[in-house]
Amino acid sequence: MIFKASISSNQSHTVWRKVIQNLSTFHEDIRCTITPREFIIWSMNSTDTSMSQARFKCGFFESYEFRPEETVFGEDGLQQVQDQQLNVHKLYSFKINGKLLAILFRKPESDNITTLHLAIHNGATCPESLANRFQITIHTESLMVKEYGPNIVPIKYDPIVINLRYKKRFLDVYGGSCEDQEEQLDPRLLEMFKAFDRELTQSYFNSDILSTGKRSNALTPEDEINYLCCNHQLLKNFIDSCNTSATEEVKVEVSISKLCLTAFTKGIYSKNNDVLRNAIRATNIVGTNDLEHYCLFTTAGDENSKRPLAKAISFGMKDFKNFVNMAAFWRGDQDVNIWFCRPGDPIFMELVKDDLQLELVQVTDSGDAVQPMGSKVTVTRNSPLRNSVVKVASPRKSPLKNKGPLTPNVADNTHSPLKPKSLFTTEDDEMQERQQQRWKNPIRGKRRLDDEDQETHPSANYEHQQHAETAAHRTQTTIEWGDGRPNLTNDGPGPGAALDQRGMLRQEKKKFLRDLRVQRGKDHQAQTGAEDEQFGPTQKDRPKGLFD
């Protein structure tokens, strides 16, 4: 046997079962790593946006044995790592179906588990049927023994050491400057600094973490990290108070005076602004006096701003709810440690209880991206309407300010319908205006308005022209006095002859129109008489025959 462990207490059985069930919700397969000091189980979702990990120390099990040097089968899972002190440690890692494990470790109905044995043979004396098998033996109070052997796939362990990186940065930013501060820090916070430093020193995977150390006196906005420690019951009350099935995201906003926990769901709208999904928002506000500890990263830009200092981060609700509910079976008070940096960086949560350490890492929303610029921090927001906004040089200046008054065109004054007219007009003005209006309408073609008026009102025009024959003719340039009637006896071609020709045409046209009017009247009377001789209005003109 290269690995052998057993669990006998009911509380440990419940914790083991809950952890396996929770990790199986992230991915179908879960990964296990066996070390001389602890048993690590972790799982990551298919989109690589959330990861959960559980570390069971040796004290969690009743018995714990690990002999990696006896490995014969499944050598792909055996590996060696070197820590910062150049000590070599052997590990064994494998992959197993998490859904199947959740079913096998399910609590039996009307019965309790007394002892749970876990083993991996893969030694020199291992039979072929037990090679690469995770042997599970369950003893119940009803004296039943259940044995299972699910298949395992040996793999190499590639640790994601976000927890060590955040704790190292946290100690560099806050722990290194505690000696320079005049005021006395909280003793509990100093104990946490010592515990984190001890964990970094004893970790198997601290070779790359401790080698990239940084002095605390050279901090920049890129080193931002915020810490929050609160009671587990505070997060549990928030989960129970909001509708977690209808909300998708969580926003944590902490300031000097209060902590705001908001569960929300963004609304979805169509192109026509039709509501496809309503937006939901629920907020719980807690004073910072109810928190155990909190550390906020500030810069010169934050201190000079008029707004109160506040740090906010948004992440998914589903995995956060599972993480909080997974620790709800413990009785007593447990503290949850939360580390987060700028929006877009992962958020790390940790819960330590006895010999078990639960961890959750989630990606965050990068809606407000912070760009470090020297000692100042600036917030940039991308608006989808930025490219379509019309830019004005000055919002207070009118675009018509530099333009002069409108100067009307002299040539267009005669055609304007709003042209002011004088009170008294002369006949010369009326004649000039009429001459200009003759060729005005382009739609009617090159036809004078006088001809159109004659067609519509021939009798009125004829009387007007007949009166014009007797009136004196005045031109635009000269004024002449003559006889009341033109000399018709003049044989030569002159204005009198032209006037006689026009008069004859008008008389003929008048006669033609008069005859046309008389003919239309006769046709109308004939039609009326014919209608009187017909049948009634409801009958047809011609009765229907028998053979029609």
pTM (two decimals): 0.65
> Buried b / exposed e across 58-68, counting CB within 10 Å, b at 16+?
bebbeebebeb
Q: How many CB atoms lie within 10 A of CB 444?
A: 12
Q: Which two tokens stand for residue 128?
A: 């072929």
Q: Which two tokens stand for residue 490?
A: 């003049």
What is the chain's mean pLDDT, rounded?
A: 76
Domain 1-159 shares a fold with domain 220-392: no
As beta bridge partners, residue 352 has 357
Of the candidates 266, 180, 202, 229, which has an alpha carbon nearest to the alpha carbon of residue 38? 202
From start to end of 335-462, where are the E strands? Answer: 335-340, 347-353, 356-362, 369-373, 376-380
What is the C-alpha R_g of the chain? Answer: 50
pLDDT for 184: 64
Between 83-87, 363-367, 466-470, the lowest mean confidence (pLDDT) is in: 466-470
Q: Which two tokens stand for residue 189?
A: 């916070």
3-state secondary structure of 95: strand
> Quick one: pLDDT band at residue 302, thresholds 50, 70, 90?
low
Q: Is the pLDDT of residue 32 over 90?
A: yes
Of the candidates 304, 466, 470, which has an alpha carbon nearest to the alpha carbon of residue 377? 304
Helix (H) or strand (E) holding 367: none
What's the mean pLDDT in 229-251? 90
> Quick one: pLDDT band at residue 434, thresholds 50, 70, 90?
low
Residue owning tokens 């006895």: 354
Residue 5 CA to residue 276 CA, distance in Å, equals 53
> Quick one: pLDDT band at residue 539, thresholds 50, 70, 90?
low
Q: Is the pLDDT of residue 417 over 70?
A: no
Q: Which amino acid is at 344?
A: G
Residue owning tokens 């009136």: 471
CA 272 vs CA 277, 280, 449: distances in Å? 14, 21, 53
Residue 175 has what DSSP assignment? Answer: I
Work out the burial of residue 86: count CB atoms within 10 Å of its CB; fewer than 13 is exposed, 13-18 middle, 19 or more buried. exposed
Q: Which CATH class is domain 1-159?
A: alpha beta
Residue 363 CA to residue 377 CA, distance in Å, equals 22
What's the mean pLDDT in 106-120? 90
Residue 481 CA to residue 484 CA, distance in Å, equals 9
Q: Is the pLDDT of residue 415 over 50?
A: no
Q: Is the pLDDT of residue 230 over 70?
A: yes
What's the mean pLDDT in 435-444? 48
Work out the burial of residue 168: count CB atoms within 10 Å of its CB; fewer than 13 is exposed, 13-18 middle, 19 or more buried. buried
Of the candidates 136, 133, 149, 164, which has an alpha carbon nearest to the alpha carbon of residue 53? 164
pLDDT per position as a tens digit, 171-201 = 888 876 555 554 567 788 888 889 898 988 8
Backbone angles phi, psi at 134, to 5 degrees: -95, 100
Is the CATH number 3.70.10.10 carried by domain 220-392?
Answer: yes
Residue 98 CA to residue 27 CA, distance in Å, equals 8
Residue 283 CA to residue 380 CA, distance in Å, equals 25
Neighbouring C-alpha atoms within 13 Å toward the C-beta of 259: 23
Nearest 10 degrees: Cα torsion 64, 67, 68, 70:
-150
Residue 223 CA to residue 174 CA, distance in Å, equals 11
243 compared with 437, residue with greater pLDDT: 243
- Of the chain, the percentage scoring pLDDT greater than 70 comes to 67
The residue extents of the domains of the chain are 1-159, 220-392, 442-467+500-513
Between 1-10, 399-408, 490-499, the lowest mean confidence (pLDDT) is in: 399-408
pLDDT per position as a tens digit, 265-301 = 888 888 887 888 888 889 999 998 889 888 888 876 6
CA 326 vs CA 9, 222, 332, 336: distances in Å? 18, 33, 14, 13
What's the mean pLDDT in 125-132? 90
Which of 286-295, 404-413, 457-466 reaches the highest mean pLDDT? 286-295
Of the candidates 506, 409, 411, 427, which has an alpha carbon nearest to the alpha carbon of residue 459? 506
Residue 48 CA to residue 62 CA, distance in Å, equals 35
Work out the burial of residue 1: count CB atoms within 10 Å of its CB; fewer than 13 is exposed, 13-18 middle, 19 or more buried. middle
260 compared with 190, residue with greater pLDDT: 260
Contact criterion met (CB below 8 Å) for 156 and 137? no
Of the candidates 1, 3, 17, which has an alpha carbon nearest to the alpha carbon of residue 101? 17
Work out the burial of residue 250: count CB atoms within 10 Å of its CB; fewer than 13 is exposed, 13-18 middle, 19 or more buried. buried
> Quick one: pLDDT band at residue 374, thresholds 50, 70, 90?
very low
Between 108-122, 208-222, 271-285, the lowest mean confidence (pLDDT) is in: 208-222
